[in-house]
C-alpha cells in the first residue's frame, strides 16, 4: 500500500530494493527530526519525506 502511494506521488515505479532503501531513509529522518523532538508524523508528512528520499536516492545512483 505504501509503495503504491509513493509511486503515485513520484509518478514512476520503483523496485522493491529502492523502496526498502527509501523507507529506511524515511524512518531515520523521522526518528531524528520528529520523534527526537516529541513530534508526531502524519501519513502525508511521511509521504513528503519519502518523496524527498526517492529524489535523493535517484541522484546518488
The tens-digit pLDDT sequence of the chain (61 residues) is 999 999 999 999 999 999 999 999 999 999 999 998 999 999 999 999 999 999 999 999 8
Find cell 522493491 and name the residue: 16
Whole-number pLDDT of residue 38: 92
Cα distance between residue 24 and residue 4, in whole Å: 17
Whole-number pLDDT of residue 40: 94
Whole-number pLDDT of residue 58: 92
Kindly list the domain boundaries of the chain, sorted by start residue: 2-60
The rounded Cα 21 to chain-centroid distance in angstroms is 9
> Which of 4, 30, 29 has the alpha carbon at shortest distance from 19?
4
Cα distance between residue 50 and residue 61, in whole Å: 16
Can you give the pTM of this predicted structure? 0.90
Whole-number pLDDT of residue 12: 95
Amino acid at each position: 500500500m505504501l509503495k503504491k502511494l509513493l509511486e503515485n506521488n513520484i509518478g514512476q515505479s520503483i523496485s522493491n530494493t529502492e523502496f526498502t532503501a527509501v523507507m529506511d531513509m524515511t524512518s531515520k529522518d523521522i526518528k531524528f527530526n520528529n520523534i527526537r523532538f516529541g513530534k508526531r508524523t502524519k501519513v502525508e508528512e511521511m509521504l513528503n519525506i519519502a518523496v524527498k528520499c526517492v529524489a535523493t536516492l535517484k541522484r546518488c545512483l
